[in-house]
């Protein structure tokens, strides 16, 4: 690639968007899932009064807060970046794209940010159930936020409910309800949320395994492990299901993206699923291909013999429709991104499924192998055969090492879906090259990209160190104040000088 292209405003703006968005999305899925999981643990505490659930709530809640802080602040950049680097995009789509963003801010962000403050500082200010409701509100806020922003993104993937105003040179909204409810938005939301819980499940399992392997904080970590394994397995299954649904939608709406994902150069009936491919992008064919016959046809159309168009076919069709040009995305990125997404995600799912089986409870387990609430669960492979301590150690280790796998998967999922749509920013309507800010100089974009990259790198180091410290410290001991929640809003007033339960 020559230097002019590498430093073109479009290239730089795309890199900046990629860096800041992938980084932001490292925190988002964990925030979404940990909010709900922490809320679930706190609900268990309120309902059962078992102290281990309160300790678990405090432990996971703290990790959640360390994480959401980063999610919130990196999200601010997202809100303004469209205007800064993509002003022509903003002018062209603002009539449509702005509305879900405003909905997100006014409905979801206010929810999230206000109730998170109430939750953090509210332990001694709010009655138990109201305090519990606050964390559920946060969880609801994060999920709503995901919905609105995904509806906006879905419109870029598959624009609906709009018309082009030639006079003003922009797209205008004609059906907001359609934008919010089109199948792209619904399936993309389903897939993103289930993947978020895959991230949270793996996070809980990995950290619980770390402590259980050391026989520390056993009652809390035993319960956490179970919550994590169930989450991981159920979410893994649903992520696969929703991924399949989203894939089918994409085969219809963006055949190029899916052909690129499979490095399927020429249409075939039946079309095979590619296990490994190495090809020549310029010549438009694969040199090496290992394939499973018919599977791609099935994934696309639920029919093993159906026709699936290839990259060259779609490229030709788009040239006829939109004029001369290259309508192919970066094929190797799409192909490998798609595979990393599935590979990393499903590995974690497998680890969850295996763990669920190994730690299964009473009804499938002979009495001799059962363990009590205070004990590290025994990993049992067959009816009478427990894993050796060495293999048990390996299971814990693998669970810990793969903690971040679903995060890698979701990052690649986004890189795939966004780069797979190129050269379009709004599919079939607006090209990415027509979307950048004409008035922003190269120097300005390089400055902001450098600043964000360095700042984000420093913050990542700080954040990870802090997480590790708090993970290692384990769940906190409870204090008397923890077990004496207030009965009225505003807190106890019998002692005006009583210290706050929490302060910054």
Partner 1 sequence: MELHNVWFVLIAVLWIGYFFLEGFDFGVGVLTKLLARDRAERRVLINTIGPVWDGNEVWLLTAGGATFAAFPDWYATLFSGFYLPLLLILVCLIVRGVAFEYRHKREEERWQANWERAIFWTSLLPAFLWGVAFANIVRGVAIDADKEYVGGLLDLLNPYALLGGLVTLTLFTFHGAVFAALKTVGEIRVRARALSLRLGAVAAVPAVAFLLWTQALRGDGASLVALAVAGAALLAAIAAIRAGREGWSFALSGVAIAAAVAMLFLALFPRVMPSTLDDAWSLTVTNASSSPYTLTIMTWLAVIATPVVLLYQGWTYWVFRKRIGTQHLADTH
Whether 108 contacts 141, CB under 8 Å? yes
Report in angstroms how near the CB of residue 290 gets to partner 1 at its nearest.
45
Tell me the C-alpha distance between 466 and 469, whole Å: 5
Judge if the upstream peptide bond of residue 319 is cis by omega within 30 degrees of 0.
Answer: no
CB of 414 to partner 1, least distance (A): 21
| Beta carbon nearer to partner 1, 169 or 293 | 169
Least CB distance from residue 492 to partner 1, whole Å? 11
Q: Which is nearer to partner 1, 125 or 421 (CB)?
A: 125
Q: Shortest distance, CB of residue 117 to partner 1, whole angstroms?
A: 4
Whole-number Cα distances in Å, 91 to 84, 101, 150, 499: 12, 15, 20, 52
Q: Return the number of the residue (113 or 319) whose C-beta is nearest partner 1.
A: 113
Pick the closer one to partner 1 by CB: 120 or 353.
120
CA 500 – CA 344 distance, rounded (Å) = 43
Dist CA 176 CA 162 (whole Å) = 9
If the CB atoms of residues 252 and 498 are measured against partner 1, the closer one turns out to be 498
Least gap, CB of 188 to partner 1 (angstroms): 20
- DSSP letter, residue 447: H
The contacts of residue 219 (CB under 8 Å, 6+ apart) are: 52, 373, 374
User: Measured from the CB atom, is 241 or 483 closer to partner 1?
Assistant: 483
Q: Which residues contact 236 (CB under 8 A, 6 or more apart)?
A: 198, 201, 345, 346, 348, 349, 350, 352, 353
Listing DSSP states for 389-413 in one string gives: HHHHHHHHHHHHHTTTHHHHHHHHH
Identify which of 32, 40, 33 has the alpha carbon closest to the alpha carbon of residue 56.
Answer: 40
Cα(179)–Cα(188) distance, integer angstroms: 13
Helices (H), 439-484: 442-473
Question: How near is the Cβ of 111 to partner 1 at its closest, in Å?
Answer: 8
If the CB atoms of residues 84 and 160 are measured against partner 1, the closer one turns out to be 84
Helix %, strand %, coil % of the chain (to 5): 70, 5, 25
DSSP conformation letters of 300-313:
HHS-TT--B--HHH
Nearest approach, Cβ of 84 to partner 1 (angstroms)? Answer: 5
Taking the least distance from each CB to partner 1, the nearer of 76 and 281 is: 76
158 SS3 class: coil
Cβ neighbours around 346 below 10 Å, total: 18
Q: How far is the CB of 69 from partner 1 (least distance, A)?
A: 4
**Nearer of residues 172 and 183 to partner 1, judged by Cβ:** 172
Min dist CB 166 to partner 1, Å, is: 14
Compute the least distance from the CB of residue 306 to partner 1, in Å: 39
Using the CB atoms, write b or e for 93-126: b if 16+ within 10 Å.
Answer: bbbbbebbbebbeebbbebbeebbebbbebbbbb
């Amino acid at each position: 690639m020559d230097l002019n292209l590498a430093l073109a405003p479009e290239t730089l703006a795309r890199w900046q968007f990629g860096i800041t968005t992938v980084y932001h999305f490292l925190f988002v899925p964990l925030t979404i899932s940990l909010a709900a999981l922490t809320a679930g643990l706190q609900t268990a505490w309120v309902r059962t009064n078992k102290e281990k659930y309160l300790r678990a709530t405090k432990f996971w809640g703290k990790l959640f807060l360390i994480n959401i802080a980063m999610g919130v602040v990196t999200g601010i950049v997202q809100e303004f970046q469209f205007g800064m680097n993509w002003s022509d995009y903003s002018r062209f789509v603002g009539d449509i794209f702005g509305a879900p963003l405003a909905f997100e801010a006014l409905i979801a962000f206010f929810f999230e940010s206000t109730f998170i403050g109430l939750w953090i500082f509210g332990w001694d200010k709010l009655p138990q159930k109201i305090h519990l409701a606050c964390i559920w509100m946060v969880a609801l806020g994060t999920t709503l936020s995901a919905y609105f922003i995904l509806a906006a993104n879905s419109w870029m993937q598959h624009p609906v409910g709009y018309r082009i105003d030639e006079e003003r040179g922009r797209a205008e909204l004609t059906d907001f309800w359609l934008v919010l409810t089109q199948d792209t938005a619904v399936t993309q939301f389903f897939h993103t949320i289930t993947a978020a819980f895959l991230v949270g499940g793996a996070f809980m399992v990995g950290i619980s395994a770390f402590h259980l392997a050391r026989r520390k904080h056993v009652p809390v970590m035993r319960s956490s492990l179970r919550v994590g394994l169930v989450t991981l397995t159920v979410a893994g299954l649903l992520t696969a299901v929703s991924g399949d649904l989203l894939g089918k939608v994409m085969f219809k709406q963006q055949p190029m993206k899916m052909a690129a994902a499979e490095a399927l150069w020429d249409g075939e009936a039946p079309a095979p699923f590619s296990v490994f491919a190495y090809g020549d992008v310029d010549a438009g064919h694969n040199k090496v291909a290992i394939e499973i016959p018919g599977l791609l046809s099935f994934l696309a159309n639920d029919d093993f013999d159906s026709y699936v168009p290839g990259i060259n076919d779609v490229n030709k069709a788009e040239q006829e429709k939109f004029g001369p040009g290259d309508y192919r995305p970066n094929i190797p990125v799409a192909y490998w991104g798609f595979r990393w997404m599935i590979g990393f995600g499903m590995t974690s799912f497998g680890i969850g499924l295996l763990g669920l089986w190994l730690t299964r409870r009473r009804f499938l387990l002979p009495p001799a192998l059962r363990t009590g609430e205070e004990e590290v669960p025994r990993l049992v492979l067959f009816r009478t055969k427990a894993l050796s301590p060495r293999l048990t150690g390996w299971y814990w280790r693998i669970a810990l090492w793969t903690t971040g796998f679903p995060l890698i998967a979701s990052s690649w999922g986004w890189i795939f879906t966004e780069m797979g749509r190129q050269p379009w920013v709004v599919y079939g309507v607006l090209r990415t090259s027509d979307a950048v800010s004409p008035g922003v100089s190269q120097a300005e974009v390089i400055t902001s990209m450098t600043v964000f990259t360095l700042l984000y790198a420093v913050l990542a180091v700080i954040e990870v160190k802090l997480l590790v410290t708090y993970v290692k410290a384990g769940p906190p001991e409870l204090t008397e104040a923890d077990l004496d929640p207030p009965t009225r809003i505003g807190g106890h007033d019998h002692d005006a000088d009583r210290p706050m339960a929490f302060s910054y």
